[in-house]
Chains A and B, each alone.
Chain A
Amino acid sequence: MAVLTTSHPARALRGSGLDRVLPYLMLGPTLFLVLGVVVYPLIDGLRSSTGFFRFGRQIRSVGLDNYAQAFNDPHFTGAIETTFRFVVLAVTIETVVGLALALLCAREVRFIRRLRSTLILPMIITPVVVGIVFRLIYASDVGLLASFARAFGLDAPEILSTGTGAFWGLVFLDVWEWTPLLFLILLAGIQSMPVEPFEAAKVDGAGPWRTFVDHTLPLLRPTILVAVSLRAIDALTTFDQVYVLTRGGPGTSTQLISIYGYQTFFQFQQVGYAAAMMFMVALVVVVVSGFAIALMRRRGR
């Protein structure tokens, strides 16, 4: 009884000023974690990007020289170009194929649920495994495609041993693995569209193409933009599959910025230069992410 009369927790807190501090105390552990694993590495990375390193140690500060050096490095500019070419091609094809599949699977017909489940399978396979599998498919000596070609009396295709072949081989791998993501997002978008405009179009006698152009596409546009933005951000950082499949070769035909950054940092121990390169790439990713977030907010409203 005495307990009830002598103390009221809420009132006691309010009077002391601790009520203002307590929320921050409660947030403390999480804040500490975020500072430790996100903020500190970012600041340290930014500091490293202005340093010149030899033998694993910073020798001197070089200001923004590492950033300037990147623009004079044909490997960096080449890797940026290859990365953008890869992202644009892969994401475009994935969007078109993903949309087609989503339209196909939006109808409720027999076995459609099983088909939808099957279609998303490639997405859940580990990227390294996908790389290994495609290497076994593409290999010109014992690869699956080579075996098929030989069975039909044809020459084995040279996919990984030519620049163009390897690049398109990589694009196809990415399309195979990540079209399901676009399919899934677009399918959700289609299923959440209002039915009234389509019913009206049907009453007005509009054909399937007209309905698609006048209703489906405009209504789906925000979803498409969000899906494309998300996928583009992910594609910009593609690493595992390329590393397993081609290591960036032949020549520099599949050398994405992630591969070049990895080599520069881990193999060549050019810590400062690698950090500068990756910050520039991160800046691009942040811009694309900002675009995606803005789109999502607009869609939310």
Chain B
Amino acid sequence: MSEDNILRRPISRRDLLKLGAAIGGAGASAAFLAACGATGTSSAPSASAAPSTAPASSAAASASAAPSTGGKLVIGAFEDGALTPFKGTIIPMFQQATGIEVEFLTEPYDSFFAKAFQDGQSKAGQYDIYIMDDPWIPQYAAAGILEELGQHGIEMDADYPKPFADLGFWPPREGARVKGFESGDPKLIALPTIGDLQTLTYRNDVFPTAPATWDDLVSAGQAAMSSNKIKYGFVFRGVKGNPVVTSFYPIFRSFGADFFDDKWNPIFNSAEGKAAADFFVTTLKSLAPKGVAEFDSDQEGAAILGGDAAAIIQYSGNAIKSDDPAQSKVVGKLDFGVVPKKVAAIAQIGIFIHGVSASAPNKDNAIAFMKWFATTEAQTALARAGDLPVKTSAFTDAQAVKDHRLLPVALAQLTAGAQARPRTPDWSKVESIIGEALNSALVAGSGGGAAMDTAAGQVKDYLTQQGYYS
């Protein structure tokens, strides 16, 4: 049959079926080939990565001299001001040192939490490294979506402060363990990224030195408000859920209260816990703006940087803006200190922590990044760029301390007392219950103790339902 005849001939049903089969077959082949290509890329060891079996220390020592052989690495993180120096300094340094091209993707906090978890569960491989908030670790680790780092020769060395180091292991090295993880060796599944923790930011024209106790803060704050020296003695985050619990945490812990006993029974409605809640929703509210129950970190930050607040307790993301005239109206009037105490001066640890996705398409590059980021060189650069590092040696780097006065205060807070939130995959629900009750009491301006009782009952019911006590 000539070509001419073929073109003229009308299409019969057999031709139609043949054509369909051909198109289908071609499509399937293309998809199959594409999939093979992707698998090939992901499984091929990257020459740029340091040998995965090398000890962390030796890998760390040689990382800066790692050959530049390229490849790709996708890091996902939630949006936060504290990641600005990380993005601006650390990523370019790593790219230059290794030739690995880094794609840094960020999403709002809640959105990234859900997206990264989905990515890990569905093994979609959108990210190689997740930069997480430390309370996410139990949830992510329990679901098995984080790579065990020990098998790649990564270790948690002694230069990491213990409170930070503990957060990289699952099941926890110390303290109560949730059902299903009672036994078994703790495995390293993440490394600290930014050593964030709460510290006090205060006006040095209101407080001559950092208020050592809550009584000091309240009396000086009230005096300054009465004399119209300042608008608000103390400002905090009051929005229900995570914001209000985060603000309440240093008060709660400094009153000597705790959330759970070693059997996961709620004890936050203890006498200390109730006293802290009452103090929070009455005394501290009286120093704050009337609408503080609607305040989140943006409004809290605006209050201190705009010159309306005498003191706030905050993470580093806003604190590092204090000396920037473009962002602060009170440059030179803000100092940092350890959080006030009642029986102790305990702040909340909220470190950024990174782990490798078990389904990472560029796993070798991710491991190479983790090893490189643990080097003294990278940690010092992080501290000098203005972020809180995760290794003690970098906290004391002379140049970094000279440029960033928050560093020694953060180290002092670590020494004075800094604790992470309870290590359970159900923390977000527990926090939501406590946050809702506390927010309602804050709106009412009373009933903090009763709110703790209500929340304790709800938390107990919830944990019972989840099988904690069976």
Contacts and interface: CB of A to CB of B under 8 A. Distances in A.
Q: Do A and B come from one complex?
A: yes
Interface in B110-125: 110, 113-114, 117, 121
Given A16-B13, A55-B139, A161-B294, A247 B299 contact: no
Contact of B289 (A57, A141, A266): A141
A142 B302 contact: yes
Given A12-B13, A55-B143, A141-B302, A250 B293 contact: yes
A216 interface: no
Contacts of A247: 239-241
Interface string B300-311: 001100001000
Given A13-B13, A139-B294, A161-B291, A251 B443 contact: yes
Sort A-B residue pairs by CB-CB distance and give the 6 closest, nearest first: A140-B291, A251-B440, A249-B240, A161-B291, A160-B294, A56-B143
20 contacts: A9-B10, A12-B12, A18-B13, A56-B117, A56-B143, A140-B290, A142-B299, A155-B290, A156-B290, A158-B291, A160-B294, A161-B292, A249-B239, A249-B293, A250-B294, A251-B440, A252-B440, A266-B114, A269-B117, A269-B139
Interface of B: 8-13, 20, 110, 113-114, 117, 121, 139, 142-145, 180, 238-241, 289-295, 299, 302-303, 308, 425-426, 428-429, 432, 436, 439-440, 442-443, 465-467
B241 A139 contact: no
Contacts of A156: 290-291
Contacts of A57: 143
Nearest to B120: A56
A218 to B, nearest CB: 46
Given A158-B290, A249-B240, A269-B139, 15 more contacts: A3-B9, A3-B10, A18-B13, A55-B142, A55-B425, A56-B145, A69-B465, A141-B291, A142-B302, A156-B291, A162-B293, A250-B240, A250-B439, A251-B443, A268-B432
A162 B238 CA distance: 12
A62 to B, nearest CB: 11
A270 B292 CA distance: 31
A25 B16 CA distance: 11
Interface string A14-58: 001010001001000000000000000000000000000011110
Given A55-B139, A139-B299, A160 B291 contact: yes
Which of A69, A141, A155, A166 counts the most B-chain CB atoms under 10 A from its CB? Answer: A141
Interface string A94-136: 0000000000000000000000000000000000000000000
Given A9-B10, A13-B13, A54-B180, A161 B432 contact: no
Contact of A141 (B114, B139, B303, B428): B303
Contacts of B11: 9
Nearest to B442: A250
Contacts, number: 111
A267 B240 CA distance: 14
B443 A250 contact: yes
B179 to A, nearest CB: 9
Contacts of A251: 240, 436, 439-440, 443
Interface residues of A, number: 39
B137 to A, nearest CB: 13
A263 B432 contact: yes
B110 A267 contact: yes
A163 interface: yes
Contacts of B429: 267-268, 270
Contacts of A192: none
A132 B210 CA distance: 36
Contact of B428 (A12, A25, A249, A268): A268
A140 B239 CA distance: 13
Contacts of A252: 436, 440
A35 to B, nearest CB: 17
Contacts of B432: 263, 267-268
Contacts of B293: 160-162, 249-250
A16 B14 CA distance: 11
A189 interface: no
A142 B428 CA distance: 30
B13 to A, nearest CB: 5
A248 interface: yes
A9 B14 CA distance: 11
Contacts of B292: 161
B112 to A, nearest CB: 11
Contacts of B294: 139-140, 160-161, 166, 246, 249-250
Nearest to A251: B440
B78 to A, nearest CB: 13
A20 B142 CA distance: 53
Interface in A198-222: none
B139 A266 contact: no
Contacts of B295: 141
A139 B429 CA distance: 27
Contacts of B426: 268
B428 to A, nearest CB: 5
Contacts of A9: 10-12
Interface string A236-253: 000000000011111110
A267 B428 contact: yes
A9 B11 CA distance: 8
Contacts of A269: 117, 139, 425
Given A161-B238, A251-B439, A266 B9 contact: no
Contacts of B442: 250
A267 to B, nearest CB: 5
A31 to B, nearest CB: 15
Contacts of B239: 247, 249
B305 to A, nearest CB: 12
A100 to B, nearest CB: 32
B234 to A, nearest CB: 15
Nearest to A266: B114
A66 B141 CA distance: 26
Given A56-B121, A161-B294, A140 B143 contact: no
A248 B240 contact: yes
A129 to B, nearest CB: 15
B443 A162 contact: yes
B436 A249 contact: yes
A109 to B, nearest CB: 43
Nearest to B244: A249
Contacts of B302: 141-142
A170 B241 CA distance: 19
Contacts of B143: 55-57
A7 B142 contact: no
